[in-house]
Structure 1
Amino acid sequence: MSISKVFWVISLISLQFSLANCYSTKGLVPALYVFGDSTVDAGNNNNLNTVAKANNFPYGIDFNNCSTGRFSNGKTFADLIAIKLGLPMPPPYIGVSTTERYQITSGMNYASGSCGILNSTRNGECLSLEKQVEYFTSTVMNDLPKNLQSKTKLRHYLSKSIFILSTGSNDYILNYFKQEMGKNKMINPEEFADYLIDQLGSNIKKIYDLGGRKFVIIGLGPIGCIPGFITKKPHTQECNEVINQVVNLFTNKLPRKLQELKLKAKLSGSLFTILDSFKLFRKIQNSPENFGLTNIWDSCVGEGGNPCENRKEYYFYDFAHSTEAVNEIFANKCFGGRHICFPMNIEKLVHAH
């Protein structure tokens, strides 16, 4: 990386940190906290021993031409939601020094690429969901009280904040499907989906116990439709529907399981918004031109690592991650639209009690 590039990276991170230093009076909510994988990682993996990094070209080409660690050409879904909420984009937790974390009350990003819901899901060093929640616990117990010194204020602050969780895909890509091939026998997909959601639920309960009440859960998309899994034929390309059928079990079970969690774990006052990624992808797949897209199959980044020029027309930026243009579609539909995020969109979630 050139000296000028390093300067831009440092400048951008410093700007993001300074914007997050104060409690935003213009925000619709006090803060946005982000948990998950590479779909919403804002740069935590930059500080970890892993090949799953996005802090170099061609990532960030549309983020002031600065590779911050986001697995996209620009902003992630979480970044765009933060902007819509009137908040600064939450900085990566381990990218902020321990002596400065207490200054940030507008939210934090704990997401980590190549990790998942299960501790066994990983490709190199990463932050499992359990570890992310552990870091959030430190935020609540050690950092926030330095600014919100009253327990009543802290409780109110957390109850009004938004918590995004976007994770689970790697539990299939780097765990379930690998185990299935390694053992050469079918692992019961129903049981795996149930177990995965149960583990997700236990971590949600930990966030709830710390004070979180408003959750946005990103449902798994059709993994069988990403460039790394599609079936290529001489004149057509098709999704791998065998993979999609397995993953869709998780998506279909999620709403009922969350309702059960709310009742059984007695999560009084909790509110859940679920983003149906499967449904929105199918809508885009059926009529990409309605969304301004022309290519929903190929990676924008071609051989040699050079990105395409018409990035706003591509669904996928690399082998698995979406472009900023697609992230904007998801953010717009989930924030103020209908049907894709249910039982309410994020805008309604903000004002719900």
Structure 2
Amino acid sequence: MSIFNIFWVINIISLQVFLANSYCTKSLVPALYVFGDSTVDAGNNNNLNTNAKVNTFPYGIDFNNVSTGRFSNGKTFADIIAIKLGLPMPPPYLGVSTTERYQIASGINYASGSCGILNSTRNGECLSLDQQIEYFTSTVINDLPRNFRSKTKLRHYLSKSIFLLSIGANDYMLNYLKQEIITNKSGNPEEFADYLLDQLSSSIKKIYELGGRKFVVIGVGPIGCIPGFIIRKPNFQDCNEDVNQKVKPFTNKLPMKIQVLKSQLSGSLFTIMDTFEFFKEIRNSPEKFGFTNTWDSCVGEGGKPCENRRQYYFYDSAHSTEATSEIYANKCFSGTHLCFPLNIEQLAHTH
């Protein structure tokens, strides 16, 4: 990264800290806390020893042409949701100095590219979901109390904040499916989904115990339809349905698991996003959503991005463009069928 770009990254983080510290009552919720993988990583991996970092061109070309570490040409789903809630985009936890973290009262992003729900899921160094929650624990115990005069006010703040989790895809791409290739054995997809959901539930319970009550949980999408997995033949391309069928049990079982969790955690509220069916809707009528290409990566050979980025669903071989994130965020925030049983706007207003 050039000195010029480093300067702008520092300024963006400083601006986010300032905005967070200037939090006012115009926002729909006090804060947005983000946990997850590269779908919502805002730059945590920049500070880790891993190849899964994107703090260089062509990433960030539509984020003031600054490669902040987001796996996109621009803003992520979490960034856009924060803006819709009236909040500044949550800065990456590892991108803010320990002396500044206490100043942030509008939420922090703990997400880390290449990590998953399981500690064994990773490609190089990354922040596992357990590690992300450990950092959030430090935020609740060491940083936030400096902004609140009483534990009661802190509990109220946490209970009104939103906790977004976008994680699980890497547990398939870098773990389950990878092990199948190595061992040439097909594990039971139903059992693996149950195991993942049990671990995810345990993580949500930890956030609940720390004070969280409002959760947005994003299901794993059709991995077999991303450019890195699709089947390509001369004059023909299609999703890898073998991969999709291995992933689908996670999405199918997620609503019931959340329902059980809701019954166990008094006062908890959940929004679930099912990307499987909505992706099919986009793929069947791409022009309806402004897309001309839902199969290929916008970034071509030599790392050159396409010029018509708003017409591409995918930015690289695994991640979506800002245009795609905007569609999902808009539908999930105020729509009626992508996110259920509450959209995010309803979740924000529900007490």
User: Which TM-score band applies after superposition, normalised by the shorter structure?
Assistant: over 0.9
Separation of aligned partners in 2, 1:97 and 1:21? 15
From 347, 350, 353, give the equivalent of 2:348.
350
Separation of aligned partners in 2, 1:324 and 1:340? 18
Report how far residue 185 of structure 1 moved. 1.1
Structure 1: which amino acid aligns with 2:169?
S
Q: Within 5 Å, give how 1:145-224 maps onto structure 2.
A: 145-224=145-224
Secondary structure of 2:216's match? strand
Separation of aligned partners in 1, 2:320 and 2:125? 23
Q: Percent identity?
A: 77
CA contact (8 A) 1:24 1:106 kept: no
Secondary structure of 1:105's match? coil
1:236 corresponds in structure 2 to: 236
Separation of aligned partners in 1, 2:279 and 2:26? 33
Residue range with higher mean Cα deviation, 12-21 or 287-296: 12-21
CA contact (8 A) 2:13 2:96 kept: no
| Alignment root-mean-square deviation, CA | 0.9
2:312 corresponds in structure 1 to: 314
CA contact (8 A) 1:22 1:104 kept: no
Separation of aligned partners in 2, 1:87 and 1:200? 26
Report how far residue 15 of structure 1 moved. 1.8
Structure 1: which amino acid aligns with 2:328?
F
Q: Cα deviations across residues 121-177 of structure 1 (Å, max 9, x unaligned)? A: 000000000100110011111110000121110111011000100000000000001
Structure 1: which amino acid aligns with 2:228?
G
Separation of aligned partners in 2, 1:123 and 1:5? 26
Secondary structure of 2:21's match? coil
1:267 corresponds in structure 2 to: 265
Separation of aligned partners in 1, 2:86 and 2:11? 22
1:99 correspondence with 2:99: yes
1:69 corresponds in structure 2 to: 69
CA contact (8 A) 2:17 2:103 kept: no
2:338 corresponds in structure 1 to: 340
Report how far residue 280 of structure 1 moved. 1.2
CA contact (8 A) 2:102 2:146 kept: yes
CA contact (8 A) 1:92 1:108 kept: yes
Structure 2: which amino acid aligns with 1:10?
I
2:249 corresponds in structure 1 to: 249
Report how far residue 262 of structure 1 moved. 2.5
Q: Give the number of equivalent residue pairs.
A: 351
Structure 2: which amino acid aligns with 1:59?
Y
1:122 corresponds in structure 2 to: 122
Q: Cα deviations across residues 11-37 of structure 1 (Å, max 9, x unaligned)? A: 222222222223332211000000000
1:28 correspondence with 2:28: yes
CA contact (8 A) 1:164 1:216 kept: yes
Report how far residue 243 of structure 1 moved. 0.4
Ranges in structure 2 where 5+ consecutive residues have no aligned partner? none
Report how far residue 223 of structure 1 moved. 0.2
Secondary structure of 2:337's match? coil
Report how far residue 188 of structure 1 moved. 1.1
1:282 corresponds in structure 2 to: 280
Separation of aligned partners in 2, 1:24 and 1:248? 41
Q: Cα deviations across residues 303-334 of structure 1 (Å, max 9, x unaligned)? A: 00000000000000001000000000000000
Structure 2: which amino acid aligns with 1:318?
D
Runs of 4+ in 1 over 6 A off after TM superposition: none
Structure 1: which amino acid aligns with 2:174?
L
CA contact (8 A) 1:20 1:91 kept: no
Structure 1: which amino acid aligns with 2:65?
N
Report how far residue 63 of structure 1 moved. 0.2
Report how far residue 181 of structure 1 moved. 1.6
Q: Cα deviations across residues 187-209 of structure 1 (Å, max 9, x unaligned)? A: 11111000000000000000001
Secondary structure of 2:119's match? coil
Report how far residue 261 of structure 1 moved. 2.2
Separation of aligned partners in 2, 1:210 and 1:6? 35
CA contact (8 A) 1:52 1:114 kept: yes
1:55 corresponds in structure 2 to: 55
Separation of aligned partners in 1, 2:319 and 2:124? 19
Residue range with higher mean Cα deviation, 22-31 or 299-308: 22-31
Residue range with higher mean Cα deviation, 9-18 or 125-134: 9-18
